[in-house]
């Protein structure tokens, strides 16, 4: 099903926040689009990954993408991979009927900012959207008041909160703003154990509930930590500063 790009672009509201919905289920896609419009967003829908990639390749932008995991020909995770290869950093929320924790972790490690089951109410989804657009993940680094203004230099680590940049042994580590916030938070508490919930609050906001079960947020935190470790090990394969505290959380190792 082709998308008329000229019609889509002409219909966009310049004063609204733009959300792209990508889902092969016609009824779900249209229902979600109407809910988003009623909530005050500009919502454009696409039936498959190829259509949304074509739209973005034409230099069109968006504030957020809601992306189905299971689609024919090109899965959601493949669409996300191609988006990142294009250099696009548009926040992506996966929408899926899959509730297994492995899918949630794969989505977050792949570069998504959230993972929401389709069975959740629109109210829940809207809160996730608002947190992403209004919170740290939806702002430029220099617009986030939660980041401390002072730089941190500790051993081989150097953090610059004013620009959201991290360096290890003088090599830049390409962290997202969310990942930077986590590293900054635990590094400034080097040697102290930081709880899963405490780290999750840095990402989603205090008291926010997500994931599967009462402690579902732990899967999100583990996924972020795994990705942070991978990025530091890309510049230093012996990196081991982030340590586990089983059943509790993590700590940044304090060098003596």
Phi/psi of residue 231, nearest 5 degrees: -70, -40
What CATH architecture does domain 143-252 belong to? Orthogonal Bundle (1.10)
Q: pLDDT category, 205, cuts 50, 70, 90?
A: low
Name the helix (H) or strand (E) containing 231: helix 217-235
CB 199 within 8 A of CB 250: yes
Is residue 65 left, alpha or beta, with left meaning phi > 0 and alpha meaning psi from -120 to 50?
A: beta
- Please tell me the class of the 5-134 domain: alpha beta
- Report residue 123 CA to chain centroid gap: 19
Q: Where are the domains of the chain?
A: 5-134, 143-252
How many angstroms separate the CA atoms of 151 and 59, rounded?
35
Instruction: Please tell me the distance from the alpha carbon of residue 222 to that of residue 59, in angstroms, as a whole number.
Output: 34
CA-wise closest residue to 166 among 103, 114, 231: 231
Residue 78 has pLDDT above 70, yes or no: yes
- CA dist 83 → 19, 51, 89, 233 (Å): 15, 12, 8, 24
Average of per-residue pLDDT values in the chain: 77
**pTM score above 0.75:** no
Residue holding tokens 């919930």? 197
pLDDT digits (tens, 9 = 90+) for 214-230: 455 677 788 889 889 99
Residue 59, Cα to own-chain centre: how many angstroms? 22
Q: Which of 32-46, 122-136, 194-208 has the lowest mean pLDDT?
A: 194-208
Q: How much is the pLDDT for 7?
A: 43
Residue identified by tokens 């926010």 is 208
Answer whether 5-134 and 143-252 agree in fold: no
């Amino acid at each position: 099903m082709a998308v008329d790009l000229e019609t889509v672009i002409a219909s966009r509201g310049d004063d609204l926040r733009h959300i792209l919905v990508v889902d092969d289920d016609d009824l779900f896609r249209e229902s979600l689009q109407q809910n988003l419009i009623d909530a005050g967003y500009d919502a454009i829908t696409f039936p498959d990954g190829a259509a949304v990639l074509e739209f973005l390749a034409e230099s069109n932008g968006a504030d957020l993408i809601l992306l189905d995991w299971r689609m024919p020909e090109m899965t959601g995770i493949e669409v996300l991979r191609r988006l990142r290869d294009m250099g696009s950093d548009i926040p992506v929320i996966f929408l899926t009927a899959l509730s297994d924790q492995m899918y949630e972790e794969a989505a977050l490690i792949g570069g998504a900012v959230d993972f929401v089951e389709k069975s959740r109410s629109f109210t829940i989804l809207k809160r996730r959207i608002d947190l992403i657009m209004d919170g740290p993940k939806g702002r430029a680094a220099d617009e986030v008041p939660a980041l401390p203004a002072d730089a941190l230099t500790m051993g081989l680590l150097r953090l610059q909160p004013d620009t959201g940049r991290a360096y290890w042994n003088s090599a830049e580590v390409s962290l997202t703003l969310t990942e930077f916030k986590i590293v900054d938070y635990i590094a400034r508490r080097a040697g102290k154990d930081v709880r899963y919930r405490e780290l999750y609050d840095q990402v989603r906001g205090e008291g926010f509930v997500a994931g599967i079960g009462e402690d579902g947020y732990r899967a999100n935190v583990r996924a972020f930590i795994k990705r942070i470790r991978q990025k530091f090990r890309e510049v230093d394969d012996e990196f081991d500063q982030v340590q586990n505290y089983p059943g509790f959380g993590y700590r940044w190792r304090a060098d003596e």
